[in-house]
């Protein structure tokens, strides 16, 4: 199962961390994992490269984390909200593949 932790400050999302594996298919052939990974990379790249927002992004073997620095721009916060909603939709299509937590 993918564990998606979204970080909230002042009732607004300011980052996320993803870890784990969806378990829907074998590694390299898991469409649920591919959907989450692609959406996460798009979210990170849009925030840092397109919006030019300052964020801490770290990638390790099985974890991807993004935290906005300072307040972050409104577009970045909305994109993180949109990413969370997208993961909810994926979770509906692939039950027991994603756990979403708000901290």
CA-nearest of 27, 13, 10, 11 to 87 is 13
Residue 32: half-sphere exposure toward Cβ, Cα within 13 Å? 23
Residue 96 is given by DSSP the state T
Give CB contacts under 8 A, 24+ apart, made by 49-57.
Answer: 51/75, 51/76, 51/79, 55/15
- Report d(CA 68, CA 9) in Å as an integer: 11
Tens digit of pLDDT for each residue in 59-101? 998 899 999 998 788 999 999 999 999 999 999 999 999 999 9
Give me the helices (H) in the chain, please.
31-45, 74-93
Are 57 and 50 spatial neighbours (Cβ–Cβ below 8 Å)?
no
Q: Which domains does the chain have, with CATH numbers?
A: 2-102 (3.30.70.1490)
**Predicted TM-score of the model (pTM):** 0.93
Whether the predicted pLDDT of 15 surpasses 90 = yes
Residue 27 is given by DSSP the state T
């Amino acid at each position: 199962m993918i564990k998606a932790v979204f970080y909230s400050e002042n009732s607004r999302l300011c980052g996320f961390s993803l870890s784990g594996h969806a378990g829907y298919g074998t590694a390299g052939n898991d469409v649920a994992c591919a959907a989450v990974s692609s959406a996460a990379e798009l979210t990170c790249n849009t925030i840092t490269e397109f919006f030019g927002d300052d964020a801490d992004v770290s990638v390790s073997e099985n974890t991807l984390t993004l935290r906005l620095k300072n307040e972050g721009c409104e577009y970045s916060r909305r994109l993180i909200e949109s990413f969370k909603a997208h993961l909810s939709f994926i979770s509906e299509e692939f039950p027991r593949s994603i756990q979403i937590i708000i901290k």
